[in-house]
Amino acid sequence: MPEHISATIEIAATPEHVWAVLADLPSYPQWHPMFLRVSGQLAPGSRLTITTTHPGSGHTMTAKVTVRTADPGTELRWVSKLLGLTISERSFRLSPADGGTLLVQAGTYRGLNVGRISAKTIVRVQGAFEAINQAVKRRAESLEQAPG
């Protein structure tokens, strides 16, 4: 049975400004709480290389993900395999809301190891999603207010 985790946030910035934050891969180290580096192209079928810190151990790890959807202002979605046993799908869906944007970040995990995901791990991933959403919000709202 797949495990699904999501976090939602309202952002006082247009979907275009929120997308600009998500699409600016080289700037991730400046604002993202976990991703130390992201490289690649945001196009369906392209591969991204993400260097991140493990939320439990703090160790650095690198993941290669395949972009499934890169629809500017609407959705970014990628998929990866963890240890060849678990398939992870992450999405960032943007929709207009009250002059700003509703961002829904979701992760779906399925495969052999999913049944072994502990409640502690789920809480940790949920907290990471919320921290990422807050960071996207801060960055997008600062873009929205920037002159020019």
Residues 145, 11: Cα–Cα separation, whole Å: 12
Superfamily name with CATH number, domain 3-145: START domain (3.30.530.20)
Instruction: Report pLDDT for 101.
Output: 97
Residue 118 to residues 8, 30, 46, 108: CA-CA distances in angstroms? 22, 31, 32, 15
Two tokens at 75?
A: 């959705």
Burial class (CB in 10 A: 0-12, 13-18, 19+), 96: exposed
What pLDDT shows up at residue 2? 60
Q: Where are the alpha helices (DSSP H) in 1-118?
A: 15-23, 28-31
pLDDT in the model for residue 145:
77
3-state secondary structure of 14: coil
| Mean pLDDT, 10 residues at a time, the chain of 148 residues | 85 96 96 94 96 79 94 96 77 95 92 68 86 97 76
pLDDT on residue 148: 58
Q: What is the pLDDT of residue 109?
A: 83
pTM for this one? 0.89
Cβ–Cβ under 8 Å, residues 135 and 48: no
> 64 has which bridge partners?
49
Distance CA 42, CA 24 (A): 9
> Would you call 33 helix, strand, or coil by DSSP?
coil
